[in-house]
Structure 1
Amino acid sequence: MSPRLRKVTTASGATAVQIVRKHRGKVTVLEHLGSAHTEAELTALLAAGDEKLTDYGAAEQLELELGLPADTAAPPRARTVVGSRSSVLIDAITESWKRLGFADVINDNAFFRLVLARLVEPTSKADSLRVLAELGIEPPHHNTFFNCLIRANERDYRGKIAENCFSHSVATTGISLLLYDVTTLYFEAEKEDDLRQVGYSKERRVDPQIVVGLLVDRTGFPLEIGCFEGAKAETHTIIPVIKTFQDRHGVTDMVVAADAGMLSAKNLKELDDAGLRFIVGSRQTKAPHDLATHFRWNGEYTEDGQIIDTITPKGVKRLDPHRVKVRREPVWSAEEHPDAWRVVWQYRRKRAMRDEQTLNLQRNRALAIIDGDKPGKKARFVKVTDEEKSFDEKAYERAMKLSEFKGYVTNIPAGTMSATEVIGSYHDLWHVEQSFRMSKTDLRARPIFHRKRDAIEAHLTLVFAALAVSRFMQAATGESLKKIITSLRPLREFTGQVGGQDITFDPEVAGEAREIAAELMPGRFAGH
């Protein structure tokens, strides 16, 4: 059935008008138009609904659904819709922008509108004009947006945003633990340049790309973002981003957690030399030597969840092989073990089952290649000797033996942080991964259509700001950004003209939408 208008009496005694659709006996509310407290407001609201129904292709249903006699309706010239806007959503985003302090340091309405449009519906700069118009905001000329991106670099908007993000994190979560990860953003371009280069892509693409490093607090709130050449190795990005963060805020006492991709002897030394503490995922290939004492005294048996706190060499040089003669694992300290780091290993049966399934799939693929059932591409566990292929049984058994272990390398003594706390801190890394997923899906950081480095940097500043606002809104409400947008966007404020006078009325905000709005705008909805 086509959409129709419906009048509903609210708890406050007002008359709400909604656009609804009835299908198979179920009524679905498509849009809340607002609530009227007087006959004049109701007349204007019905006029707004009349025009909205035209958009829905069902204006002819107006009098049928409401049952209004023709003589009670205001004449067409007396009831005219002047305009409408998604006031609740716009005000919620504006309030979040202010609560983060961004409005105090960035006096640029065009930049804020770009952030707002990106939060609501990520799209190109030019198409953001459509998004703003649909929200009820008069869009500026498209050149205004491109000029504001030039200002973003010239006036260091990123630095100002980063300062306020830092202050917010210190006041809420604290920066004792920071999380770092990288991603790649690709371009719709055929040729490479000094920045946009073909490199290792997490999505296995062959397009020119850039590498983006993101530093967040333990809740995933963004603190620093860095842009690097597309062919740059991940391990070469963490130090510049952290040093920028340190120089900007004068921070020295913090713990940095990153995955195994950041694990290089040079990185760990630089972090340690800078006085920073770190927790980095260890590569599984190091397990046999690190756990040599455990295997010597316990065999291959390990209890589910068992933690082994030991040491690992800083570089390629092996540790003293005679240490396995002592059953007790060494307690790491910088003074007693200058050539080693502390490493915590944990055995999890659930991880072992998952990894073993993967290894068996790799084993089957290797055997199929050896038997000639599959093309002879390079595959794990395929050993080639004098052009003859055979299955590497020892490598397979070694991988199966180590599949259940996960290692965590750190320079934090056991007296400062227990092994359990080390593992827990590392597992907070899912927050930075969540932020990256948001920046690439909810906020559509990619693909990027800019060509010059200044424009690309400005685009990342925009994404950085939008990511901060979105994380703030999610933390305040406990809801996803998508849920916030879909709940608040339909709530529109209408302005109608009755008898030559403009009457503006707010939408009826109730139920779940009201709870979300109250968290984002407590002063406006408190006590209602």
Structure 2
Amino acid sequence: MFIRQKKNKSGLISVQVIDKSSGKYKVLKTIGSSQDSKEIEQLILCAKEFINTVCGNQELDFSDSNSFIATILNNITSHKLVGSNLVLGKIFDEIGFNKIKDPLFKDLVLYRLIYPKSKLKTTEYLYRYEQKKYSEDELYRYLDKLYDTQKDTVQKISYEHTLSILKEDIKVVFYDVTTVYFEIDNEDALRKTGFSKEGKHQNPQIVLGLLVSKNGYPLAYDMFEGNKFEGHTMLPIIDSFKKKYNLQKLVIVADAGLLSNTNVKDLQAKNYEFILGARIKTESKQIKNQILSLQLKDGESTVISKDDLKLIVTYSDNRAKKDKYNREKGLKKLEKSIKSGKLTKSSINNRGYNKYLKLEGEINVIIDSEKFDQDAKWDGLKGYLTNAKLPKEQILENYNHLWRIEKAFRVAKTDLQIRPIYHRKQKRIEAHICLTFVAYKLYKEIERLLEIKKSDWSVEKVIEVSKSIFQIEIKNPINGEIITQTILLTDEHRKLKELFLF
């Protein structure tokens, strides 16, 4: 709708309101005619009032730039954080997690990456930056639903996506455990005190077991009581994983913490192949003498028969330097403690470098130099116990992938802040672990895509830049139409768009 001034043959100027909404010009109203300029100005004002009355809208005054800008700003109806959805949400959908239709599931996973706080803080953040409102009851009802019905679905989606990107059957899996402590005083059926990998032995905790593929893509997890021996957590997860996906053969890779006679026998009884870190210093005297008699050079390895198993021993100059450094550092710490008088009889044990202590006479604690020197013979040596039918080089290569699961726990505890866990009920603690599992899957997928694109960006930078991309919605004051615009202000914003094609 607009105003037209039309001059006739007699010189009169008609002021008309014209509508072109149908594609053709149509005179809605002729306001009047005149030759006097002041009268014409008055007729134009009347035409504007007519348009405002008919349409119920304003007309933008483009002649005054400040007024025009103020009008635009006053008609902004929404200002939302959208970068996380454009990047992380896109990857979430591509993996297949959008099969779970609950919007809250997606929001909680994404915000575990961009704003890893308590669930209630997360919902506050969602309302503040995305105008999404979730009540506390709605939040806790969903966490219960996630535990009751969606945990298996989550792990299946992760497994199927990993299978598709590896483009091969999963035959080798890597297993490890960590502990997650709670800042509470009393134990319950799940949260119990036990050996803490974080040194929080006085705090109730849970034990978390994680299974990953090569390259560290998460496959399955489970949660156990805090006082459960980590060696007893492995087979339940692996048995369930194998049965769920009808896998015929699996090679299990785990570090020395999972090595026990019971585990080895159980793995053999169930026809699993395995590669376990070996405790070569606790082998029989015969095997220890055999190991120490080896003259291995940097990068060399050998195989020693141990009943129906193989013990592979390797040597590395770099490892030898590291072993020596740690040993001498531990010795200096002990010597300092002895001088200060802090060490007593109770300090004599076989934990860490305390094994170098012994009692002299009745009360004196001294360094056992002979034991220290004997230990030096093991610098640079590492062992692997296996029954795998793979070539020696493949066995060692597979074991060397185990660091990726250590990274998974590190990312979960730092970037994703798996703790503190504010929940008390077991099913909600379980739901929290599940959300962290999915968030880590997204983390690994971002990492994979960055590697494919040969980008020098880190996952952390992708997340950080995505948190600064907003979208505004403006209501057109003329016709009421909502205009949406994503604001890409910086080179980093544009680079992110180029990387992830949103």
TM-score in terms of structure 2 length: 0.78
Please tell me whether residue 267 in structure 1 is matched to residue 242 in structure 2: no
State the match for 2:144 in structure 1: 150
Could you tell me which residue of structure 1 aligns to residue 430 of structure 2?
Answer: 457
Instruction: Write the mapping of 1:42-121 to structure 2, written as runs, cut at 5 A.
Output: 71-74=65-68, 76-77=70-71, 79=73, 80-104=75-99, 106-121=100-115
Q: CA deviation at 1:251?
A: 1.6
Secondary structure of 2:119's aligned partner: coil
Q: Could you tell me whether the CA contact under 8 Å between 1:348 and 1:404 is conserved in 2?
A: yes
Residue 477 to residue 139, structure 1, CA distance change in 2 (3 Å): farther
Quote the offset at 1:162 in angstroms: 1.0
Q: 1:290 aligns with which of 287, 290, 301?
A: 287
Q: Deviations over 1:36-88 (max 9, x none)?
A: xxxxxxxxxxxxxxxxxxxxxxxxxxxxxxxx996454163454211122323
State the secondary structure of the residue aligned to 2:355: coil
Opposite residue 464 of structure 2, the aligned amino acid is: T
Q: CA deviation at 1:365?
A: 4.2
More deviation in 217-226 or 384-393?
384-393
Structure exhibiting the larger radius of gyration computed from Cα positions: 2
AA in 1 matched with 2:399: Y
Counterpart of 1:363, as a letter, is L
Q: CA offset at residue 231 of structure 1?
A: 0.9
* Secondary structure of 2:111's aligned partner: helix
Match of 2:245 among 246, 249, 255: 249
Q: Is the 8 A contact 1:111 1:145 kept in 2?
A: no
Mapped to 2, the partners of 1:371 and 1:140 lie a distance apart of 60
**1:115 Cα deviation (Å)?**
1.1
1-side partners of 2:190 and 2:291: how far apart?
47
In 1: Cα distance, 2:63 partner to 2:382 partner: 74
Counterpart position of 2:421: 448
Give the aligned partner of residue 444 of structure 2: 471
Q: What pairs with 1:494-513 in structure 2 (closer than 5 Å)? A: 494-500=472-478, 501=480, 502-508=482-488, 511-513=491-493
TM norm structure 1: 0.74
Deviation track 1:408-431 (CA, whole Å, cap 9, x = no partner) reads: 111113xx32x2222221111111
Query: Residues 69 and 400 from structure 1, CA distance in 2 versus in 1: closer, same or farther, beyond 3 angstroms?
Result: farther
* Post-superposition CA distance 1:84-131 (Å, at most 9, x none): 223232122222122111212x12111221112212110111001122
- C-alpha contact 1:177 1:254 (8 A) present in aligned 2: yes
Task: Tell me which residue corresponds to 2:384.
Answer: 408
**1:303-340 CA distance string (max 9 Å, x none):** 1222112123xxxxxxxxxxxxxxxxxxxxxxxxxx34
Distance, in Å, in 2 between the alignment partners of 1:370 and 1:507 is 64
Change (3 A) 1:77 1:192: same
Are residues 1:280 and 2:258 paired? no
| Runs of 5+ consecutive residues of structure 1 not aligned to the other structure | 1-67, 313-338
Contact kept, 8 Å, 2:447 with 2:459, in 1: the verdict is yes
Contact kept in structure 1, 2:215 and 2:404, CA below 8 Å: yes
Question: Offset of 1:282 from its aligned partner?
Answer: 0.8
- Partner of residue 207, structure 1: 203
* Distance of 1:69 and 1:191 partners within structure 2: 72
CA distance in 2, matches of 1:120, 1:180: 27
Task: Report matched runs for 1:353-502 at 5 Å.
Answer: 353-367=321-335, 373-376=341-344, 377-378=347-348, 379-384=354-359, 387=362, 388-413=364-389, 416-417=390-391, 419-478=392-451, 479-500=457-478, 501=480, 502=482
Are 2:304 and 1:310 aligned? yes
Q: CA deviation at 1:137?
A: 4.2
Q: What root-mean-square deviation, in Å, do the aligned CA atoms of Structure 1 and Structure 2 show?
A: 2.4
Report the alpha carbon displacement of residue 259 of structure 1 after superposing the two structures with TM: 0.9
On the 8 A contact 1:118/1:466 being kept in 2, the answer is yes
Bigger drift between 133-142 and 468-477 goes to 133-142
Query: Residue 255 and residue 517 in structure 1: after superposition, are their counterparts in 2 closer, same or farther (change >3 A)?
Result: farther
